[in-house]
Structure 1
Amino acid sequence: MNIGLIGYGKMGQSIERQAILRGHKKLFITNKTPSYKELKNSNIEMIIEFSSPKFAVSNIIICIENNIPIVSGTTGWDSYFFFIKNTCKKYNGSFIYSPNFSIGVNILFYINKNIAKIMYKSNLDYKVSIKEIHHKNKLDTPSGTAIALAKDIILENYCDNWGLVSLKEKKRYIYIYSKRIKNIIGTHSVLYESDIDSIEIKHIANNRTGFALGSVIAAEWLYKKFGFFSMKDVIKLNEMK
């Protein structure tokens, strides 16, 4: 495929390496929202977007409106989620969004969701907390991955809300502990605690390769498909019972 990159920081450069290793051509790189003319004249077949919350929505919209498939890993624009989804439907667009393209993290999502489902259906009394640690240059706090983990627990009816303040006395509340440390790529853990025992699931990213490779795999999967998708569709987690 002819791939364009919006966002050329450390992640964008890692995506570029993975795309070339997998036989794709890099025709377009920018750190700003491209114009219609730039997109039209570039012969781009796919955009991979890792920019910033400030520009992500405009990047996504211009690609969808111009029928260019786009994969986005930028987080921090949750308030526009349904607007983007409706725009994709209106233009019969091709779009994949995931707060994390690491295959390992998406397996973590699946395990976490199923633990929450068991907890709710079995009426078990566990307190839930999430910890996420990243490098100091990460713009959003908490991470989109931590928010996604919390939302999955809430969707399974085991908790009602989440926050950044520890409220140990409040039931059905998820405390998200967020910290920024130099040279930490990304660590996420979910802890279910009771008086009897604790269950912890955890993912540690050793480098950016998993995120970059996952986004390229997602782009390959999206090619010539139409709709609004997530990484769960790409690795078929939505098909598992």
Structure 2
Amino acid sequence: MKIALVGYGKMGQAIEKIAVERGHTIALKIDLDNRNDLNETKLAAIDVAIEFTSPHSAFDNIMELLKAKVPVVCGSTGWLDKKEAIDEYCLQQQGAFLYASNFSVGVNIFFELNKKLAQLMAHQTEYRVKMEEIHHTQKKDAPSGTAVTLAEQILQNIPLYKNWVNHSTNKAEELEIISERIDPAPGTHKIRYSSEIDDIEIIHTAHNRTGFATGAVMAAEFLKGKKGIFGMNDVLGF
């Protein structure tokens, strides 16, 4: 495949390494210095684009790629208030779009564990749920997209909780998420159910960016030649 990398920071470089190892070509790299190269002429020969940028630029980047009829794999977080517009435009264009808050296979298994545990704990009102997430100091959004996904899964399955907050709270209906930014942590997510009798805890800790990069390339391989809206559940067959 000929891949366009939109965003060439540490994550983009990790994706490049995995993509080349898997036999693909990085035909275009877009960063702050050459944003104007994100146009239909430069994108004409691209099979799939992988977009990892910032909350402020992701929406415009995705729209440009879909306009050019390029399938898009997006891992940027912090912009999901506009995702409905992206989905609608993708379908209008008969394009292909795959978003994930986290592309790691391990994290997506963790998502499934989180949903199942929340379902089991739905009516165990003696337990209080709290979340913690740790990332490196360059992480621009807090809580992380992964933490938001985990929190939304808990809200969908435990009736007590009505919303999440990114600070300590004593309100029964609020799900607490505590965010820390510590170098060089790639990412840790912890969910704890606590009662006076015991604690139940699940944790995912990333050791490096390889898992995220591998999952993103797998998603690009999956998306080539398809049309529609997809997620990592589709890639992994969950």
TM value normalised by structure 1: 0.93
Q: Distance in 2 between matches of 1:227 and 1:61?
A: 15
Q: Residue 137 of structure 2 aligns to a residue in which SS? A: coil
Contact persistence 1:63–1:70 (CA under 8 A): yes
Task: Report the CA distance shift for 1:223/1:124 in structure 2 as closer, same or farther (over 3 A).
Answer: same
5+ long unaligned stretches in structure 1: none
Please list the CA deviations of residues 35-59 of structure 1 after superposition, one character each: whole Å capped at 9, or x if unmatched. 223222xx11010110111110011
Corresponding residue number in structure 2 for 1:178:
179
Measured after TM superposition, the shift of residue 123 of structure 1 is 4.5
Equivalent position SS for 2:23: coil
Runs of 4+ in structure 1 deviating by more than 4 angstroms, as ranges, are: none
Name the amino acid aligned to 2:175: I
Deviations 1:4-46 (CA, angstroms, capped at 9, x unpaired) = 1000001000000000000001100011441223222xx1101
The one-letter code matched in structure 2 to 1:35 is: N
Q: 1:80 aligns with which of 79, 82, 92?
A: 82
Which residue of 1 is the match for residue 3 of structure 2?
Answer: 3
Aligned counterpart for 2:40 among listed residues 24, 36, 59: 36
- Which residue does 1:115 correspond to in 2? 117
Query: Scaled by the length of structure 2, what TM-score is found?
Result: 0.94
Equivalents in 2 of 1:126, 1:37: separation in Å? 56
- The answer to whether the 8 Å contact 1:7/1:49 transfers is yes
Amino acid corresponding to residue 8 of structure 2 in structure 1: Y
Q: Counterparts of 1:165 and 1:19 in 2: how far apart (Å)?
A: 38
Partner of 1:23: 23
Partners of 2:137 and 2:93 lie apart in 1 by: 38
2:39–2:68 Cα contact (<8 Å) kept: no
Q: In the alignment, residue 209 of structure 2 is paired with which amino acid? A: R
Shift of 1:172: 3.2
Query: What CA RMSD, in Å, does the superposition of the two structures yield over aligned residues?
Result: 1.2
* Distance (whole Å) between structure 2 residues aligned to residue 227 and residue 130 of structure 1: 33
Percent identity among equivalent residues?
Answer: 44
Letter in 2 for 1:75: T
Structure 2: gaps (5+ residues): none
Please name the residue that 1:206 is paired with. 207
Rounded to whole Å, the distance in 2 between the matches of 1:84 and 1:134 is 27
Greater alpha carbon shift after TM alignment, 60-69 vs 13-22: 60-69
The equivalent of 2:217 in structure 1 is 216
CA offsets 1:180-223 (integer angstroms, 9 cap, x no match)? 11111111111111222111111111010000000000111111
Q: Distance in 1 between matches of 2:206 and 2:179?
A: 16
Task: Give the counterpart letter for 1:17 in structure 2.
Answer: K
> Which residue of structure 1 aligns with residue 146 of structure 2?
145
CA offsets per residue over residues 147-174 of structure 1, 9 Å max, x none?
Answer: 1100111122432110022113x22321
Counterpart Cα distance in 2 of 1:152 and 1:160? 12
Task: Report if the CA contact (8 A) 1:88-1:227 is conserved.
Answer: yes
Q: Deviations over 1:98-133 (max 9, x none)?
A: 01000111111111011111222x454321111100
Q: Distance in 2 between matches of 1:29 and 1:52?
A: 16
Equivalent residue pairs, number:
233
Counterpart of 1:59 in structure 2 is: 61
The one-letter amino acid of 1:167's match is T
**What's 2:190 paired with?**
189
Secondary structure of the equivalent of 2:56? helix
